[in-house]
Amino acid sequence: MIKFLLWLLLFVLCWPIAVLALLLWPVVWLLLLPLRLVGVVVDGVFEFLRALVMLPARLLGGRP
Amino acid 63: pLDDT? 66
Q: Is residue 29 part of a domain?
A: yes
Higher per-residue confidence, 28 vs 16: 28
Amino acid 53: pLDDT? 93
* CA-wise closest residue to 11 among 23, 31, 26: 23
Residue 61 region by backbone torsions, left for phi larger than 0, else alpha for psi between -120 and 50, else beta: left
Amino acid 61: pLDDT? 81
Q: Is residue 8 part of a domain?
A: no
Q: Is residue 47 part of a domain?
A: yes
Domain count, the chain: 1
Contacts of 49 (CB under 8 A, 6+ apart): none
Q: pLDDT by residue (tens digit) across 23-58?
A: 999 999 999 999 999 999 999 999 999 999 998 888
Question: 38: domain range?
Answer: 25-64
Q: Is residue 3 part of a domain?
A: no
Kindly indicate the confidence band of residue 64, based on its pLDDT and cuts at 50, 70 and 90: low
Q: Is residue 20 part of a domain?
A: no
Q: Is residue 5 part of a domain?
A: no
